[in-house]
């Protein structure tokens, strides 16, 4: 990273201008949103929404990507994008937009999914809940009767009744969980505990959706914890659909879960930047999983005389697509990458690797999921293409084309270049923060300390120290110090010192 930054000579913090450093080392430009890369039905609803509500096309387009990704849950996966890996369809989209920007208009993209979720809840309340409550009352009466009989008969004669009682108690626990929360496809602002319990109720699959996600981001950053510790383990597991177990002192162990979470959050731009500057969020890879973007607005446009409205055909086609995509949950579907698609994903991965080995070496993990996010988008694009054509049938061989992969890569690249713009400023600040930390350690050690001691006692790797000295040659320097004549010999030591004044 450091060798590619244009760093001015400096002798102290008063000379380093982080904002200027950021301006002199810009991230690659993302350019205009590649709307033509979306599947036709998705493109049409995004374009009409953007025109009707006068918002940036990226807002409804990325909302459409998140919506289609949430529909199939765990049922649709992609193989072959990366060797030995299976990729689910869920994605994490976080959009930064100013107040009164028109996010509610873009939120209409989710209307079909929200309507389907409402119908799911209503049907449960009308049909399933009365049956469950009647079953619970009957089983509670039977459980009390069994308990009395067991108490009278003793252990030896009541083995069968005990087994029946255990079966009833397990079913009563299941009924209690089903009755406590409504079935849903989406969840809004919720604590981590509420998200966990709602996932358990809904086949471990949800879309976390919020037009004002300030509280959710503050939860992730640990703002509401007494310890102020970040709280996003569930989102790490929910992205990769990997094992999660939560145990709390205040309640029973909830057991194993393999959550599948999709995210569509809108927030103020300053919250987005706060998320991307948080050390723990960066170190543990949450932001690497996100498809982010920020919509900036220089001035508020005046309303003109044009009457704008959504065409019924676009909304109906989008709603029909969403209903069909939700129905995919009934069967498992595995999409295979064609050879052309694998090549597209491989080239995109190598594109990220070049950046990881170069300018962004110090935060290379942030670029480590470019291919995976593109593959996740590809699931959604395949679904949108295939369902419109009526080609996605259970048991049918499904092949992702090179053209579909290329479209998905274009969408992923646009968002990830947006993330680099946010990371770039934070990277400059992060580097200077590490230099200040090294300077503080040096002052405590009379102006010099071995790289070995920095590694063992302070967590600075040799590579990082040398990278920082190359980046800030006017502040720090590494020298080689020979063993003193009084010592028993040995190799020279590499020592960090302040640069000469």
* Paired tokens of 307: 């009457």
The closest of 443, 436, 432, 459 to 497, measured between CA atoms, is: 443
Helices (H), 334-369: 339-357
Q: What is the pLDDT of residue 89?
A: 98
* Paired tokens of 318: 């989008």
| Tens digits of pLDDT across the chain (501 residues) | 333 444 444 434 333 444 454 455 566 777 899 999 999 999 999 999 999 988 899 999 999 999 999 999 999 999 999 988 999 999 999 999 888 787 777 788 999 999 999 999 999 999 999 999 999 999 999 999 999 988 887 766 688 889 999 999 999 999 999 999 999 999 999 999 999 999 999 999 999 999 999 999 999 998 887 777 789 999 999 999 999 976 554 445 556 899 999 999 999 988 988 898 888 898 899 999 999 999 976 666 677 777 777 888 999 999 999 999 999 999 999 999 999 999 999 999 999 999 888 878 777 888 999 999 999 999 999 999 999 999 898 889 999 999 999 999 999 999 999 998 888 766 667 777 888 899 999 999 989 999 999 999 998 988 888 888 887 888 899 999 887 666 666 678 899 999 865
Return d(Cα 202, Cα 81) in angstroms, integer. 29
For tokens 């920007």, name the residue. Answer: 101
* Paired tokens of 407: 């479209």
Query: 49-54 long-range contacts, Cβ below 8 Å, gap at least 24?
Result: 49/105, 49/106, 49/108, 49/109, 49/310, 50/106, 51/308, 52/105, 52/308, 52/309, 52/310, 53/102, 53/105, 53/106, 53/108, 53/308, 54/102, 54/301, 54/308
Does the CA dihedral 358-363-367-372 come out positive or negative?
Answer: positive
E-strand stretches of 149-285: 186-187, 205-210, 244-245, 256-257, 260-267
Spatial contact of 69 and 381, defined as CB atoms under 8 Å apart: no
Surface-to-core class of residue 161, CB atoms within 10 Å of its CB (0-12 exposed, 13-18 middle, 19+ buried): middle
Return d(Cα 82, Cα 441) in angstroms, integer. 43
The closest of 330, 489, 307, 334 to 398, measured between CA atoms, is: 334
Spatial contact of 232 and 89, defined as CB atoms under 8 Å apart: no
């Amino acid at each position: 990273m450091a060798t590619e930054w244009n760093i001015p000579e400096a002798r102290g913090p008063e000379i380093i201008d982080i904002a200027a450093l950021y301006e002199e080392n810009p991230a690659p430009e993302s350019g205009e949103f590649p709307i033509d890369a979306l599947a036709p039905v998705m493109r049409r609803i995004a374009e009409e929404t953007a025109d009707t509500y006068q918002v940036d096309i990226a807002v409804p387009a990325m909302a459409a990507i998140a919506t289609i990704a949430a529909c199939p849950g765990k049922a649709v996966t992609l193989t072959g994008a990366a060797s030995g890996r299976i990729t689910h369809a869920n994605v994490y989209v976080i959009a930064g937009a100013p107040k009164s920007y028109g996010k509610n208009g873009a939120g209409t993209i989710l209307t079909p999914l929200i309507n389907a979720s409402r119908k799911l809840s209503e049907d449960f309340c009308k049909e399933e809940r009365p049956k469950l409550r009647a079953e619970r009352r009957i089983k509670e009466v039977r459980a009390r009767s069994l308990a009395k009989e067991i108490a009278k008969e003793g252990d030896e004669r009541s083995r069968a009744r005990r087994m029946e009682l255990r079966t009833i108690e397990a079913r009563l626990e299941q009924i209690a969980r089903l009755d406590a929360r409504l079935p849903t496809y989406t969840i809004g602002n919720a604590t981590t505990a509420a998200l966990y319990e709602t996932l358990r109720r809904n086949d471990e699959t949800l879309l976390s959706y919020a037009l004002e996600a300030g509280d959710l981001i503050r939860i992730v950053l640990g703002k509401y914890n007494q310890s102020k510790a970040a709280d996003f383990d569930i989102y790490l597991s929910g992205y990769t659909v990997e094992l999660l177990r939560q145990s709390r002192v205040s309640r029973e162990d909830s057991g194993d879960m393999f959550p599948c979470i999709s995210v569509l959050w809108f927030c103020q731009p300053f919250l987005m930047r706060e998320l991307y500057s948080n050390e723990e969020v960066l170190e543990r890879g949450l932001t690497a999983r996100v498809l982010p973007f920020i919509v900036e607005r220089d001035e508020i446009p005046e309303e003109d005389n044009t009457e704008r409205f959504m065409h019924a055909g676009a909304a109906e086609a989008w709603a029909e697509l969403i209903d069909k995509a939700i129905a995919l949950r009934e069967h498992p579907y595995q999409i295979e990458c064609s050879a052309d698609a694998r090549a597209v994903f491989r080239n995109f991965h190598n594109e990220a690797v070049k950046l990881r080995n170069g300018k962004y070496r110090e935060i290379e993990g942030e670029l480590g999921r470019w291919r995976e996010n593109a593959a996740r988008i590809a699931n959604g694009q395949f679904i949108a293409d295939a369902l419109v054509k009526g080609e996605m049938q259970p048991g049918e061989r499904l092949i992702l084309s090179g053209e579909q992969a290329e479209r998905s890569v274009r969408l992923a690249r646009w968002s990830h270049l947006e993330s680099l713009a946010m990371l770039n400023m934070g990277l400059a600040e992060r580097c200077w923060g590490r230099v200040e930390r090294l300077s503080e350690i040096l002052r405590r050690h009379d102006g010099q300390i071995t790289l070995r001691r920095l590694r063992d006692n302070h967590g600075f790797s040799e590579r990082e120290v040398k990278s920082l000295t190359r980046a800030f040659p006017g502040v720090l320097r590494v020298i080689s110090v020979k063993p003193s004549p009084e010592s028993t010999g040995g190799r020279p030591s590499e020592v960090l010192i302040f640069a000469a004044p």
